[in-house]
């Protein structure tokens, strides 16, 4: 794949540019040779989530375009907490932050390439230069360059002051992140910081700090915050929680399913944001979606590409096969044993013994499809419970030996798309 298009033009058509400092100046610097750019990720959870991938993939894109990415794990900033509208964060303990920072660092490393070339990636943790900084040093060297007037007029700060107020700790977050940019500029000649548009203020803080202290002009570029067509924040799964990169938190199957279910109104935009597919291919998928929406070609492509990107080709093959088996038109009984076993390996499963005469309710609970027996019973009465694709309307229904697929599995489903397995032992 030859890239003839300028990286800024690509970012632009993909919808990845929300705000920026002087784009012409940035273009000139990009053209002048490998530029060093960074994005930071704070350890606010044990894993990155899908939404984090927008800025992270921007680093990957920049690297592919011949530039050098720095991924930063916010071991220091994560101890302080970026102010948000919902109110003051509660601080996490130091070992929790350190552990999360490590895990996130491991995830970050998978999206950029490390080699000895000028475009080889660098991974840093801002605790490296912040941990040993003394308060006096910090207040004199960094704090002195920040105008309280400007800080107080920032959107988030204003809103917070009108609502619940804000601690000095969170208020100073801006200084830390700005300081990071200065450090990376000095250590690595980093002249571009990217991030989600909610980071604009923090990034600009760094741009100004570098200008004031080192009299250098560096760039800022943000990507729009990803929302769905309803304006809801992206990455909330239908189960309400986040869609996590960590396969322990969100299985590859669940990840794939999440993206297969993306609405028509969002899927093309997501393809641009989250995949490396070239423009022509995305245009073709857009046409497919318009002409033959029921085939969901764009959704399937998005899900497959994105699963491969995060979990690898092998995982994608497995979850595609499992999805095909479980959502296919055919009878579940027609699946051969190895296909069924493979599918069952991808979905949540439970176990039961035939001798215990488990009812549908038991099956729904043990497979994890229902949180309580009451919820399971409700599902059955609402007509939303299926065993082996057969709707079960009777709470007391119990499987017979002949219902077992290949002598050991029952495929339990709640609603249209929540599928799980129960392994039945004698």
Partner RNA sequence: GGCGGGUUGCCCGAGCGGUCAAAGGGAGCAGACUGUAAAUCUGUCGCGCAAGCUACGCAGGUUCGAACCCUGCACCCGCCA
Going by the annotation, the residues of the binding site are 38, 173, 177, 236
Q: Tell which one of 294, 401, 402, 407 touches RNA (CB under 7 A).
A: 294
Q: In what order do the strands lie in the sheet with 349-353?
A: 349-353, 418-425, 409-414, 385-387, 390-391
Going by the DSSP 8-state scheme, the letter that residue 49 receives in this structure is: B
> Least CB distance from residue 152 to RNA, whole Å?
13
> Within positions 202 to 231, which residues make up the interface with RNA, using CB under 7 A?
229-230
> How far apart, in Å, are the Cα atoms of 154 and each of 132, 193, 199, 293?
29, 19, 12, 43
> Least CB distance from residue 182 to RNA, whole Å?
29
Q: Tell which one of 239, 278, 312, 330 touches RNA (CB under 7 A).
A: 239
Q: Does 287 bind RNA (CB under 7 A)?
A: no
Q: In what order do the strands lie in the sheet with 122-125?
A: 19-20, 219-223, 190-196, 36-41, 68-73, 122-125
Binding positions for ATP are 236
Q: Tell which one of 36, 119, 257, 275 touches RNA (CB under 7 A).
A: 257
Q: Tell which one of 49, 61, 67, 296 touches RNA (CB under 7 A).
A: 296
> Least CB distance from residue 379 to RNA, whole Å?
5
Q: Which is nearer to RNA, 279 or 292 (CB)?
A: 292
Q: What is the DSSP string of 57-96?
A: HHHHHHHHTT-EEEEEE-TTHHHH----TT-PPPPPPHHH
Q: Does 105 bind RNA (CB under 7 A)?
A: no
Binding positions for L-tyrosine are 38, 173, 177
Q: Does 382 bind RNA (CB under 7 A)?
A: yes
Report d(CA 25, CA 379) in Å as an integer: 59
Contact between 364 and 420 (Cβ < 8 Å): no
Q: Which is nearer to RNA, 25 or 295 (CB)?
A: 295
Stretch touching RNA by CB under 7 A, among 22-30, 216-224, 346-354, 414-422: 414-422
Angle at 174 between CA 168 and CA 177, to 5 degrees: 130
Report d(CA 262, CA 246) in Å as an integer: 20
Q: Which is nearer to RNA, 34 or 368 (CB)?
A: 368
> Least CB distance from residue 177 to RNA, whole Å?
21
Q: Which is nearer to RNA, 114 or 327 (CB)?
A: 327
Name the H helices within 275-372. Answer: 279-291, 297-311, 313-327, 337-346, 360-366
Name the H helices within 189-296. Answer: 200-214, 252-260, 264-274, 279-291
> How far apart, in Å, are the Cα atoms of 156 and each of 52, 86, 300?
20, 10, 38
Q: Which is nearer to RNA, 145 or 236 (CB)?
A: 236
Q: Which is nearer to RNA, 10 or 362 (CB)?
A: 362
> Least CB distance from residue 78 to RNA, whole Å?
19
Q: What is the DSSP string of 154-181?
A: SHHHHHHHHTT---HHHHTHHHHHHHHH
Q: Does 131 bind RNA (CB under 7 A)?
A: no
> Least CB distance from residue 167 to RNA, whole Å?
5
Q: Tell which one of 184, 377, 405, 409 touches RNA (CB under 7 A).
A: 377
Handedness of CA 101, 104, 106, 112 (dihedral sign): negative
Q: Which is nearer to RNA, 200 or 258 (CB)?
A: 258
Report d(CA 183, CA 175) in Å as an integer: 12
The residues binding RNA (CB under 7 A) are 88, 161, 164-165, 167, 229-230, 238-240, 257, 260-265, 289, 293-294, 296, 299, 323-324, 327, 371-375, 377-379, 382-384, 414-418
């Amino acid at each position: 794949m030859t890239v003839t298009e300028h990286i800024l033009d690509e970012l632009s058509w993909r919808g990845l540019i929300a705000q920026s400092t002087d784009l012409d100046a940035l273009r000139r610097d990009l053209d002048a040779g490998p530029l060093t750019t960074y994005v930071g990720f704070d350890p606010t959870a044990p894993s990155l989530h899908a939404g984090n991938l927008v800025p992270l993939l921007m680093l990957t894109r920049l690297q592919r375009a011949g530039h050098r990415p720095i991924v930063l794990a916010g071991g220091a900033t994560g101890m302080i907490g970026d102010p948000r509208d919902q109110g003051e964060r509660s601080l996490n303990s130091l070992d929790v932050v350190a552990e999360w920072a490590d895990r996130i660092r491991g995830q970050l490393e998978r999206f950029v390439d490390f080699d000895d070339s000028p475009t080889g990636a660098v991974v840093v943790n801002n605790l490296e230069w912040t941990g040993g900084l003394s308060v006096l040093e910090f207040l004199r060297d960094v704090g002195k360059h920040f105008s309280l007037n400007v800080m107080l007029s920032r959107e988030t700060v204003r809103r917070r002051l009108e609502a619940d107020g804000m601690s000095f700790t969170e208020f100073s977050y801006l200084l830390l992140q700005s300081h990071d940019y200065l450090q990376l500029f000095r250590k690595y000649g980093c002249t571009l910081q990217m991030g989600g548009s909610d980071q604009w203020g923090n990034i600009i803080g760094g741009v100004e700090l570098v200008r004031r202290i080192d009299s250098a002009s560096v760039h800022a570029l943000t990507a729009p915050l990803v929302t769905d067509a309803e304006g809801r924040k992206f990455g909330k799964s239908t189960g309400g929680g986040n869609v996590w990169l960590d396969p322990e938190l969100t299985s590859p199957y669940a990840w794939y399913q999440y993206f297969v279910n993306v609405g028509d109104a969002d899927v093309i935009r997501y393809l641009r944001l989250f995949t490396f597919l070239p423009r022509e291919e995305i245009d073709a998928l857009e046409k497919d979606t318009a002409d033959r929406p029921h085939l969901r070609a764009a959704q399937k492509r998005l899900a497959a590409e994105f699963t491969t990107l995060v979990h690898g080709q092998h995982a994608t093959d497995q979850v595609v096969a499992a999805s095909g088996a479980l959502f296919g038109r055919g009878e579940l009984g027609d699946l051969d044993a190895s296909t069924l076993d493979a599918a069952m390996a991808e979905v949540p499963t439970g176990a039961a013994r035939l001798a215990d005469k488990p009812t549908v309710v038991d099956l729904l609970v043990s497979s994890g499809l229902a949180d309580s027996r009451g919820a399971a019973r409700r599902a059955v009465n609402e007509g939303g419970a299926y065993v082996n694709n057969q709707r079960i309307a009777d709470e007391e229904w119990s499987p017979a030996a002949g219902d077992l697929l290949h002598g050991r599995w029952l495929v339990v489903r709640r609603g249209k798309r929540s599928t799980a397995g129960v392994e039945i032992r004698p």
